[in-house]
């Protein structure tokens, strides 16, 4: 597919998974049977991605690219921006942890020439000169950022996403730190906060053993079948979050907030900007999935040799 049509999975590891699942032919395989030659090409690409960091790859007639997106948030006198009244919410909230309102960027098409509303066009124009200038950024990061203004002068904005941020209630409210990845909807971010309050924090505070799989602050019982009073504040915080459909919550000295963020892709004559020389790979390439034979079936580990 041409690189201007769809957003590829970000990063070598994600691309590894995309190609592996295309080659996979198990009972829960997402695609129809493949020609063996196509599958061999897919598996060869997967094998390469297990040892190399590859940002641009042609496989079985499709071009995959890793593109670079800047994430930013808006802040004002009241602090970092939360969800807007126009951001959609479910009429009947679904609190099932396995359910997601929608997948992040599902069906998203990248087209720098597509018409956009006036407000979006103004925002894109205002961000054309955005680049790193502060002394806290290394010299090579600032240099790459300034160079991108020339090599990729256009700007494309992706749909808003929602992340959890937090800060110590006794410290400067402008010093937020990220506490989750991106969510496609406000409610999905709220469910992640609920999971943090009822499942993660009680384990971090030694109130629920890690071995108690599936138990949280609302269901866990001690050996004598009693609810632990120490878990009551966690359950109450969760209830307040659910009842009020909150965007912001203070609990145990930490302020948790759902933050609305945007993502910016720079665009040049050859399409979206790829990784910069100063970008750091946080995880090296590695063997991620079970090995497959040329029919797409998993090879038992004792037979891989």
Low-confidence ranges of the chain (pLDDT < 70): 1-10, 27-32, 172-174, 302-305
Distance, in Å, from the CA atom of 43 to the CA atom of 23, rounded to the nearest integer, reads 7
Maximum separation of any 2 CA atoms in the chain, in Å = 68
The three state secondary structure string of the chain is CCCCCECCCCCHHHHHHHHHHHHCCCCCCCCCCCCHHHHHHHHHHHHHHCCCCCCEEEECCEEEECCCCEEEECEECCEECCCCCCCCCCCCCCCCCCCCCCCCCCCCECCCCCCCCHHHHHHHHHCCCCCCCCCCCCHHHHHHHHHHHHHCCEEEEEEEEEEEEEEECCCCCCCCEECCCCECCHHHHHHHHHHHHHHHHHHHCCCCCCCCCCCCCCCCCCCCCCCCHHHHHHHHHHHHHHHHCCCEEEECCEEEEEEEEEEEEEEECCEECCCCCCCCCCCCCCCCCCCECCCCCECCHHHCC
Q: Which two tokens stand for residue 11?
A: 């990063």
The predicted pLDDT at position 149 comes to 97
Distance, in Å, from the CA atom of 83 to the CA atom of 32, rounded to the nearest integer, reads 40
The predicted pLDDT at position 58 comes to 93
Show me where the domains of the chain are located. Answer: 1-68+281-305, 69-108+158-278
The predicted pLDDT at position 176 comes to 87
> Which of these, 247, 262, 248, lies nearest to 73 by C-alpha position?
262
Q: Give the global pTM.
A: 0.82
The predicted pLDDT at position 9 comes to 37
The predicted pLDDT at position 45 comes to 94
Give 227-282 pLDDT, tens digit per residue.
Answer: 899 999 999 999 999 999 999 999 999 999 999 999 999 999 999 999 999 988 77
The predicted pLDDT at position 84 comes to 93
Q: Which two tokens stand for residue 10?
A: 């970000």
The predicted pLDDT at position 302 comes to 66
The predicted pLDDT at position 305 comes to 57
- Cβ burial of 206 (10 Å; 0-12, 13-18, 19+) is exposed
Backbone angles phi, psi at 23, to 5 degrees: -80, -20
For 62, 162, 167, 187, 238, the CA distances from 250, given in Å and listed in that order, are 48, 18, 10, 18, 11
């Amino acid at each position: 597919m041409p690189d201007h049509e769809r957003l590829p999975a970000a990063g070598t590891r994600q691309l590894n998974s995309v190609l592996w699942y295309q080659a996979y032919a198990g009972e829960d395989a997402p695609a129809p049977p493949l020609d063996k030659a196509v599958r061999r090409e897919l598996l060869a690409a997967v094998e390469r991605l297990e040892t190399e960091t590859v940002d641009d790859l042609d496989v079985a007639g499709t071009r995959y690219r890793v593109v670079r997106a800047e994430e930013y948030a808006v802040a004002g006198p009241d602090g970092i921006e939360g969800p807007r009244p126009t951001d959609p919410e479910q009429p009947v909230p679904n609190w099932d942890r396995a359910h997601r309102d929608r997948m992040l960027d599902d069906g998203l098409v990248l087209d720098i020439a597509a018409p956009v509303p006036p407000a979006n066009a103004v925002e894109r124009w205002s961000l054309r000169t955005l680049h790193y200038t502060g002394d806290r950024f290394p010299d090579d990061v600032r240099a790459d950022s300034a160079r991108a203004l020339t090599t990729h002068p256009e700007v494309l904005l992706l749909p808003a996403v929602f992340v959890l941020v937090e800060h110590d209630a006794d410290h400067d409210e402008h010093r937020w730190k990220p506490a989750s990845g991106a969510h496609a909807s406000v409610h999905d971010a709220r469910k992640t906060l609920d999971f943090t309050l009822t499942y993660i924090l009680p384990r971090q505070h030694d109130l629920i053993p890690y071995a108690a799989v599936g138990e949280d602050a609302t269901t866990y019982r001690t050996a004598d079948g009693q609810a632990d009073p120490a878990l009551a504040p966690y359950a109450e915080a969760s209830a307040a979050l659910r009842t009020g459909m909150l965007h912001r919550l203070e609990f145990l000295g930490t302020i948790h907030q759902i933050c609305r963020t945007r993502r910016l892709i720079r665009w040049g004559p050859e399409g979206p900007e790829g990784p910069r020389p100063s970008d750091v790979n946080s995880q090296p390439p590695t063997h991620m999935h079970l090995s497959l034979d040329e029919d797409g079936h998993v090879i038992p580990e004792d037979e891989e040799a």
